[in-house]
Amino acid sequence: MSDNSLRLVWIYPDLLSTYGDQGNALVVERRARQRGLGVTRVDVRSDQPVPTSGDIYLIGGGEDRPQRLAAERLRRDGGLQRAVGNGAIVFSVCAGYQILGHEFVNDLGQREPGLGLLDVVSVRGEGERCVGDVLADIDPRLGLPPLTGFENHQGVTHLGPTARPFARTRLGKGNGTGDGTEGAFNDTVFGTYMHGPVMARNPQIADLLLKLALDVNALPPVDDRWYEALRDERIAAATRPE
Amino acid sequence: MTANSEPLSARAKLAVTAGKAAAAVSRAAGRGSGSVIGGKVALRLEPDLLARLATHLDVVLVSATNGKTTTTRLIAEALRAAGPVVSNALGANMPAGITSALAGGSDARYGVIEVDEKYLAGVARDVEPKAIALLNLSRDQLDRAAETRMLAERWREGLAGSKAVVVANADDPLVVWAASSSPHVIWVAAGQEWKDDAWSCPSCGGVMQRPGDDWFCGECGFRRPAASWALSGEHVLDPHGSAWPIHLQLPGRANRANAATSAAVAAVFGVPPQVALERMWQVQAVAGRYDTVQFQGRDLRLLLAKNPAGWLETFSLIDPPPTPVLLSVNARGADGTDTSWLWDVDYTRLAGHPLFVIGDRKLDLAVRLEVANLDFRVCDSVDEAVRMAPPGRIEAIANYTAFQDLRRRVGN
Ligand SMILES: [Zn+2]
C-alpha cells in the first residue's frame, strides 16, 4: 500500500463484467472507506496496460468469447503476473478464475493457455450447466463463515498440488469435479465460481483481502446488519426442502 | 404479400376454430387471457398455421431486449391510419401467442407482432414480414438467457436472406451488427443509454471507441452507420431533415426513441411521420406500465424495469428528489433467479430520493443500496411503504413479477 491509499484494480470491465461481479469492487471499496482508508479504484480496459503497483486485483465472470479475448490480452500484457510477483492480492470469479489457471477450454472448443497464477486446469463439463444457489464451508485456515453464492457455469476445474480448495460444498456443484470442492487459492491468489456477487453475500471475504493487502490481523468492525440478514435468508433458502 | 391472396385451407380454418375454443376454455378456467394455450392447440393441428395466417397480412415484427411491447403498440396505432391492424398487444410474444393473436384478426390488413428475441429468426422465416424493427440488445436474465452477442449472431444469420425492410437502431453496436447482414436497412439514430454490453466489437472483439454519440472499432473498422432518421430531443428528424414533434402520454427518452423507430416503420407503409406521431398520442399505459393509480390516498406511478438497461432508462424519467421512490425486486422464474444484475445498476442515481424497498429479494437490494451509501427503508409490504413515504407522488419501480404483484395490490 502506498501513500495511505489502497489501490484497487478492476480488470477488463469491457470483457469480464457480465454477471454483476463489479459488485465485488464496490463492496471492497465501501468496506475500506468505512475503515477510513483512502481508495484509488482503477478500472483497466482490455486495450490498456495492467498497472503493476495495485494492492488488490479483481477479475469477474464473462461470456465465452470475451473470456478468450481477455486471456489473450492478459498474457500479452504480463502486468498481472508481475503484480502477483510483487505480492499483490488477486480475487477472481468464474471466467476470471479459469483464466488464472494453467489452461481452460475456449469458445472455439480449444485449449487456451491461462496465466498460471493458480495451479488449476479447467475443462468444459459434459452435463448440464451448473445454475443455482450454493452453500459451502470455506477452508478453516481462512477463518471465514460459510460461503453463500450463486453459480452459473459449465466449467469443471481440477486442482493441482499447490492449489487448495477455497471451500467444500454442502449444496451446489462448485468446481464441478464431483469431489465437493469449490474454488481454489494459494498465498495471494483466489478463485471461485460464486457470483451473487460473492462479496455482497460474504463481506468477510472482502475484509480478508483488505487484511492481506494491509498486512494486519484485524479491522475495525462495520455495520453488517443488511449483509447478515441477506446471508441468513440465502442460506435458509438454499437449505429449505423444495 | 397482398391481402387475401390465398384463402385459408379447411384444415387451417379448423385449427383456428379449435384454438379459439381452447382459449375460451382456458379463460373460463381462470387461466388468464387464454391466448397462449389457444395458439398452442392451433399450432399442433396445423404446424404452418403461423405462415398461413400471415400470408393475408403485411407483417411488421418488433424485437428488442427492452421496449418491444410499447413499440408494438405505437406502430399498431400509427398503421391504423392506413387500415385495420391485428397485433399481439398483450405481449404474448412466442410463436404460440403470435399465432393466437393473428388468428383473431381475419379482417386485418396489417399484422404488428412483438417477437421474443430468441424467436425472431424463426418467426421472420415463417411469416415473411415486410418490415422488422430492432431496438436494442442487452443483458437480461443471465441464469438462462443466451449470451447477448450470440443473440445478435442469430439475428444476423436469420436476417441475411430476409426480404424485409429492417428498421434498426444505429446507436446500438449489437443491433447494427445483427442488422447489417440484411440488404435493406433503414437506420434510426434512436440513442443508447446503457452501453455496458457493447464495449467489445461484435465483429472482431476489438475494443470499441465511443467518442460522444459516435462509436467505432479501432481494430476492424466496424462503425456506426449514417442514420436517415433520428430522435432529437422532443422531435423526430425524417430523411428529408424535417423535424416532427413527438406527442406521447408515455414518459421518458426511451419511449421517444420508440416513437422515432415507429415513425420510420410507419413511413415504410406510406404513413407520413406527422400522421403517425399524432396517432401515437392514443397509447396510454401499456399493460399497466407507466400508469398512475390511487392507493391509500396517494398517487403511485407504476414503472416496469426488468434489467440494468431498463432500470437506467427508468431513472432518467422519474420526478426529481424529494419524490419518494419505491423499489421492488423478485427473482421468480419469469424474472430470472439470479439477482446479481442489481450490481450493474447505478443506484447512486437515486441519491436524494427517499427510498423504500419491498419484494421477495428486498435484502439483496438493501445490501446493494447500503454499499451505494444511500439512505433507504426496508418494508414488508407496499402498504407499509406508502404509509411511511413522505408526501407527493410515489414512483414505484419493479421488475417483472414484482410489477404484477404491485398491480394486483394497488388494484390496477
Ligand atoms: Zn472490430
Q: Write out A171-196 in H/E/C secondary structure.
A: ECCCCCCCCCEECEECCCEEEECCEC
**Is B343 in contact with A20 (Cβ distance < 8 A)?**
yes
What letter would DSSP give residue B325? E
CB within 8 Å: A200 and B196? no
Place of cell 419524490: B323
Helices (H) and strands (E) in chain A, counts: 7, 14
What sign for the dihedral angle of Cα B85, B90, B96, B100?
negative
Kindly list the distances between the CA atom of residue A126 and the CA atoms of A97, A105, A123, A133, B145, in Å, as whole numbers in the listed order: 19, 12, 9, 20, 19
User: Is the pLDDT assigned to residue B36 strictly greater than 80?
Assistant: no
Min Cα distance A198 → chain B (Å) is 9
B275/B278 Cα distance (integer angstroms): 5
Place of cell 400509427: B78
Confidence band of B54 (pLDDT split at 50, 70, 90): confident
**Residue B344 in contact with residue A22, Cβ under 8 Å?**
yes
- Interacting residues of B14 by C-beta distance below 8 A, sequence separation 6+: B45, B46
Nearest to A74 by CA among A101, A53, A94, A55: A101
Inter-chain CB proximity A19 and B366 less than 8 Å: no
pLDDT higher than 90, residue B9: no
Question: Who among B147, B337, B342 is closest to A20 (CB)?
Answer: B342
Q: What is the mean pLDDT of each run of 10 residues along chain A (242 residues)?
A: 82 93 97 97 97 98 95 98 98 98 97 98 91 96 97 96 98 95 98 97 98 96 97 92 66
Cα dist from A94 to A106, A195, A212, B358, B384, whole Å: 13, 8, 22, 30, 39
DSSP state of A117: S
pLDDT of residue B363: 98
Buried b (16+ CB within 10 A) or exposed e, A120-136: bbbbebeeeebbebbbb
Residues in A closer than 8 angstroms to B139, CB to CB, are 18
Which of A24, A30, A63, A193 is the best mutation test for B, with the most CBs of B within 10 A?
Answer: A63
Per the model's pLDDT, the better-predicted residue between B233 and B288 turns out to be: B233
Task: Compute, in angstroms, the gap from residue B219 CA to the centroid of ligand 1.
Answer: 5
Q: Give the Cα separation of B343 and A196 in Å (integer).
A: 9
Q: What is the pLDDT of residue B5?
A: 44
Is residue B197 within 8 Å of residue B137, measured between CB atoms? yes
Terminal C-alpha separation, chain A: 47
pLDDT at B2 over 50: no
pLDDT over 70 at B24, yes or no: no
Number of Cα atoms under 13 Å in the Cβ half of residue B236: 31
Closest among B247, B203, B246, B238 to B222, alpha carbons compared: B203
Q: What is the pTM of this model?
A: 0.91
Q: How far is the CA of B206 from the centre of ligand 1 (A)?
A: 5
Grid cell in block for residue A145: 463463515
Helices (H) and strands (E) in chain B, counts: 14, 17
For position B38, what pLDDT does the model report?
66
DSSP string computed for B158-169: HHTT--SEEEEE
| pLDDT at residue number A222 | 97
What's the A15 CA to ligand 1 centre distance in angstroms?
Answer: 14
What is the C-alpha separation between B94 and B122, in angstroms, rounded? 10
Q: What are phi and psi of A55, to 5 degrees?
A: -90, -45
Alpha carbons A129 and A152: distance in angstroms, whole number:
7
Peptide bond into B202 cis (omega under 30): no
Between these two residues, B68 and B30, which has the higher pLDDT value? B68
Q: A56-86: per-residue pLDDT in tens?
A: 999 999 999 999 999 999 999 999 999 999 9
The Å distance, Cα B374 to ligand 1 centre, comes to 39
Note whether A233 contacts B363, CB cutoff 8 Å. yes
Which chain B residue is nearest to residue A133, measuring alpha carbons? B338
B276 — pLDDT class (breaks 50, 70, 90):
very high
**Higher pLDDT, residue A35 or B43:** A35
Q: What is the mean pLDDT of residues B218-228?
A: 96
Mutation target among B203, B219, B340 for the A interface, most CBs of A within 10 A: B340
User: Among positive and negative, which fits the CA dihedral B203, B206, B210, B215?
Assistant: negative
Contact B401, B409 (CB under 8 A): no
> Is residue B21 over pLDDT 70?
no
A230–chain B nearest CA distance, Å = 5
Q: Is-contact A13 A52, C-beta < 8 A? A: no
Phi, psi of B137 (to 5 degrees): -140, 130
d(CA B337, CA B279): 39
| Confidence band, pLDDT 50/70/90 cuts, at residue B1 | very low
The b/e string for B9-33 (b: 16+ C-beta within 10 A; e otherwise) is eeebeebbebbbebbeebeeeeeee
Q: Which residue of B has its CA nearest to A68?
A: B205
| Residue B285 pLDDT level (bands cut at 50, 70, 90) | confident
What digits encode the pLDDT tens for the residues B365-400? Answer: 999 999 999 999 999 999 999 999 998 899 999 999
The single-letter code of the amino acid at B196 is D
Name which of B68-72, B104-108, B226-230 the model is least confident about: B104-108
A-B C-beta contacts closer than 8 Å: 90
* Of B104 and A202, more confident: A202
Q: Does A131 touch chain B (CB under 8 A)?
A: yes
SS3 B378: strand
How many Cα atoms are found within 13 Å in the side-chain-facing hemisphere of B260?
33
State chain B's mean pLDDT as an integer. Answer: 90
Residue B339 has pLDDT above 70, yes or no: yes
- Residue A193's closest CA among A55, A59, A57? A59
How far from A236 is each of B143, B219, B311, CA to CA, in Å? 21, 49, 29
Q: How far is B362 from chain A (nearest CA, A)?
A: 9
Q: Could you tell me which chain A residue has the CA closest to the CA of B138? A: A18
User: Would you call A45 and B337 a contact, using CB atoms and an 8 Å cutoff?
Assistant: no
Q: Give phi and psi for A109, each to the nearest 5.
A: 80, 10
Q: Alpha-carbon distance B280 to B269, whole Å?
A: 16
